[in-house]
Amino acid sequence: MLLIRERAQMTQLVELGSISDLLDELAGPGEGLQILEQLIGPSASPVTVSREIARSATFAFRYKEARTGFVTPTGRKEADGAFVGIPDLDHTLSFDQQFETYFRQRLAAREEGFAVLFAALAEQRHSPLVIETGCLRIPGNWAGDGQSSFLFDAWTRHNGGRFFSIDLLPESIETARRACSSATNLICNDSVAALHAMSGLLREPATLIYLDSYDVQPADPMPSAIHHALELTAAWPFIGPGTLVCVDDYEIGTQQGGKGFIIDNFLHSIRAETLYSGYQKLWQVR
């Protein structure tokens, strides 16, 4: 009986050692034993420990090594409706049919704003150019974020043209890449810097500039409003007569302005036409 107990204890020690070695590979050399002690402790929080591991340089290295190794070209990529919570999405329908059947009912406060926006886009010239700041970050969060990247991707696939989306966070870029088709062009960079760089490359006015990159705090909207004003400034070289400009999170509760507080004052001063004002605000430059 004693021999059996000793063997069981040895097996347990070997297993703990293997787990410690595994944690070393995930969190860094010498970290495994410390993590085990945290987990065994009386106030252990697996969520906290997992976040600490995820923030480590070793985990980042292993993650990138696994995700970027042996990558081969895949060619044309289709949008993933299931990834954004619409597993039965019929891509063969026209965009208008998709919007009315699948998208509109999910958009909550943005329903009317997007309806007006896409109606205005339908009246624009051929080969449209759509530029978005702040891409899809949480798949399926239709009421919270609006899933605008997925909408613009679907619109571009059915109407032609080009769609660019800019975001500072690689995690958001990765989410948008998985959700959207190869009709979407994603840029991982500061939005102001990227828009400035694009202004030296694009030779025709944009059809739509959709600004939604910097989260707004209702109690202090000015930092977000300033950032979006800087975006509009950087994008101004490719804004011309007929260009649509839309900003998200304009009306929050009873408070108006939000992300678009400064933009609203500027566009009003140059007599841009307001096409819609609600949770989003949409203008057309004359």
pLDDT of residue 34: 86
Gap between the Cα atoms of 172 and 176, Å rounded: 6
3-state secondary structure 109-158: HHHHHHHHHHHHHHCCCCCCEEEEECCCCCCCCHHHHCCHHHHHHHHHHH
Taking the domain 82-284, which CATH number applies? 3.40.50.150
pLDDT of residue 74: 65
User: Which tokens belong to 174?
Assistant: 């990765």
Identify the DSSP state of 83.
G
Gap between the Cα atoms of 65 and 74, Å rounded: 19
What is the CA 201 to chain-centroid distance, rounded?
24
**219 residue type, one letter:** A
Q: Are 157 and 183 in contact (CB under 8 A)?
A: yes
Gap between the Cα atoms of 221 and 211, Å rounded: 15
Q: Are 232 and 243 in contact (CB under 8 A)?
A: no
pLDDT of residue 136: 96
User: Which tokens belong to 60?
Assistant: 């980042």
pLDDT of residue 11: 58
Q: Is 202 exposed, middle or buried (0-12, 13-18, 19+ CB in 10 A)?
A: middle
User: Which tokens belong to 181?
Assistant: 């088709």
Pseudo-torsion of CA 136, 187, 112, 278, nearest 10°? 100
Identify the DSSP state of 278.
S
pLDDT in tens, the chain (286 residues): 444 455 555 455 556 778 888 888 999 998 888 888 888 877 778 888 889 899 999 998 988 888 776 656 667 899 999 999 999 999 999 999 999 999 999 999 999 999 999 999 999 877 899 999 999 999 999 999 999 999 999 999 999 999 999 999 999 999 999 999 999 999 999 999 999 999 989 888 999 999 999 999 998 999 999 999 999 999 999 999 999 999 999 998 888 999 999 999 999 999 999 999 999 999 999 9
What is the CA 133 to chain-centroid distance, rounded?
9
DSSP 34-71: HHHHHHHSTT--HHHHHHHHHTSHHHHHHHHHHHHTT-
Q: Enumerate the domain spans of the chain.
A: 2-68, 82-284
Per cent of the chain over pLDDT 90 is 71
- pLDDT tens column, 141-171: 999 999 999 999 999 999 999 999 999 999 9
